[in-house]
Chain A
Amino acid sequence: GESVGLHLPTLSVQEGDNSIINCAYSNSASDYFIWYKQESGKGPQFIIDIRSNMDKRQGQRVTVLLNKTVKHLSLQIAATQPGDSAVYFCAESGPSGYSTLTFGKGTMLLVSP
């Protein structure tokens, strides 16, 4: 299948390691931040979101951290698995939910068995 990961920053990890993917966002007025996972040949899939009044949110094996001071967002994946291999995008929306999504540059995560 085709890959949208060409020319993207790449993070290579071993299975079982923890992964951290970073994102710098542009609009200090953004209210919602979302992480998407995109596998080859598929559309983006929602992973987790966080609102601007929070600095941390946890899901199943994933944690999103938001640092509004430096406009930085990170996605932590615990015990990374080969199935986590994909391109990860952060997206921002705001200042209200009526605003459209703006996607950042993606990061390709490669997990070796």
Chain B
Amino acid sequence: EAGVAQSPRYKIIEKRQSVAFWCNPISGHATLYWYQQILGQGPKLLIQFQNNGVVDDSQLPKDRFSAERLKGVDSTLKIQPAKLEDSAVYLCASSLAWTQFYNEQFFGPGTRLTVL
């Protein structure tokens, strides 16, 4: 079974530039998550989709971050404009469903963003 795919793997930009990350979840997984992982810390949820609808975006800095999952499959996360503190690994994860019972989340390899 193919895992969660993310691209690019690495990105270096200057502050105030824009950047976009792409994620393709495991086939058939209805729920998709974007996490931000700052060096030395655990992942922090940015946004969660159920199919093409947003379930939770309470920790997404909406003044600069946006995400979409238009067809309920792959997703893009955008930062515009980037700040130095956005340097982190951006992880995408997917799970089969979002129900009252915990569903295992499968993570992609992440995109390492460096903002100079």
Contacts and interface: CB of A to CB of B under 8 A. Distances in A.
Interface of A: 2, 4-8, 31-32, 34, 41-46, 49, 51, 89, 91, 93, 96-98, 100-106
A106 B37 CA distance: 11
Q: Tell me what chain B mostly uses at the interface: helix, strand, loop, or mixed.
A: loop
Contacts, number: 65
Contacts of A44: 43, 91, 107
B39 A100 contact: no
Contact of B91 (A7, A8, A43, A106): A43
B104 A43 contact: no
Given A98-B99, A98-B100, A101-B45, A8 B105 contact: no
Q: Tell me what chain A mostly uses at the interface: helix, strand, loop, or mixed.
A: loop
Interface stretch (B13-21, B74-82, B108-116): B108-116
| Chain B interface residue number, banded | 20 to 34
Nearest to B44: A103
Contacts of A91: 42
